[in-house]
Amino acid sequence: MLKRKAVTISLSAVFLILCTLSLPAADYYELPMAGISPRLTGMGGVHPAYTDGFATLYTNPAGFFASGEEVSWAELTFGLKGPVFTIADAIVGGDMDLATIGDLLTGIYTGLALTGPLSFGYVGNGLGLGAIATTDILLYSYTPLAATALVRQDLLLTGGYSFPVNIMPDGHSLEGGVLLKGGFRGELEAGVTAVEIQSFDPTAFMDGEPFAFITLIGMDLGLIYSWNDRIFVGLTGKDVYTPTSKKNYLSMNSFLDGDPEDSQEYGVVPFTLNLGGRYLMDMTERNIFISEVNFYLSYEDMLDFWLYPRLATNPVLHLALGAEVTMLRILDVRLGMAQGLPAAGLGIDLNWFTMNASMFGTERSTEPGMSPVYNLQLGFEFRY
């Protein structure tokens, strides 16, 4: 028994050393690449102890062993944040005066995202593979009559493996996992004014604004402990070592024409250490209506105050709670709280595809309740 405990402690120590020592010097910090998932956001976010199907690629690579098999052929998942429809009316309608558009732009923070239709891969039997495309458009402003539009297009390629660690007594299990990933990102950032919105011309962005092409290659590590398939504890090191290369071009057309880059920078995706627990109530044999209930508790980015103090946020914003109730094996009702804001979601398995929807809040500032933004996500996942 003492030998098993020593081995377990050694594994944890190696995991933490690998995670905390991989801190390369960088010119800038890059945002991580990941698809949007209404299934996860509806119950409070990316819980490290979550192990169920294709979404495990986002949560914990150690879950590939415990997860059931699932093949993803495609998906269409839409995400909206802030007053998207209000600003869309201003652009499409074309009958709003400058004063009205200026009022909309002042302090605006709105955007939309799309994951898919490329969302292909497999999870199960200790293996996780994925190719995921995501588009993200954000419009934000801190001054009147002008705003900044940020457009990103990501292609993420992932491959990982999980394995049992055979040192645990009966009733206990421990799995480890590693996920390798590579990605490509095109990024266009442009300033827009109220006058330009009135006569909006998307082609102007192709030749008149700077464009960046970003590549990354990285690794995630994970551990999952379980007791009697009821209590689960997950630990993940996301982006343990994920360096990036950013090539800056004068415009998107310059990039498409094969012109040399104007400059180049080297960055890193910040490493995050996440810890979470899950409690499973399997009611399949006891209740015909309710199949199972899952409860989640997580604390994300545990070391930001030490590793990246300039990016650190209030500890309250790191806490996430979630619950998922499965009814009749086809209906999922989800509730949660993340970053001090509520979340709720719904999932329906329609055999040929699954529909998931969620509503949740995100905090833009470093303190709870200072600048909340509410989001909607709706996804159609073609998986079996």
Q: How confident is the model at residue 202 (pLDDT cuts 50, 70, 90)?
A: low
Question: pLDDT per residue over 104-155, tens digit each?
Answer: 666 678 889 999 999 999 999 999 999 999 999 988 887 777 778 889 999 9
Task: Provide the CATH number for the domain around residue 325.
Answer: 2.40.160
Which residues are paired to 118 by β-bridges? none
Is 382 in contact with 41 (CB distance < 8 Å)?
A: no
Instruction: Count structural domains, the chain.
Output: 1
Question: pLDDT per residue over 329-347, tens digit each?
Answer: 899 999 999 999 999 999 9
Amino acid identity for residue 136 in this structure = D
Instruction: Give the separation between CA 320 and CA 338, rounded to whole angstroms.
Output: 4
Instruction: Determine the average pLDDT of the residues in 166-187.
Output: 92
The DSSP line for 210-257 is -EEEEEEEEEEEEEEEEETTTEEEEEEEETSS-EEEEEEES-HHHHHT
Greater model confidence, 94 or 311:
311
Q: Is the confidence at residue 322, as pLDDT, over 50?
A: yes
Which residue range is the domain that position 226 belongs to?
2-383
What is the pLDDT at residue 86? 61
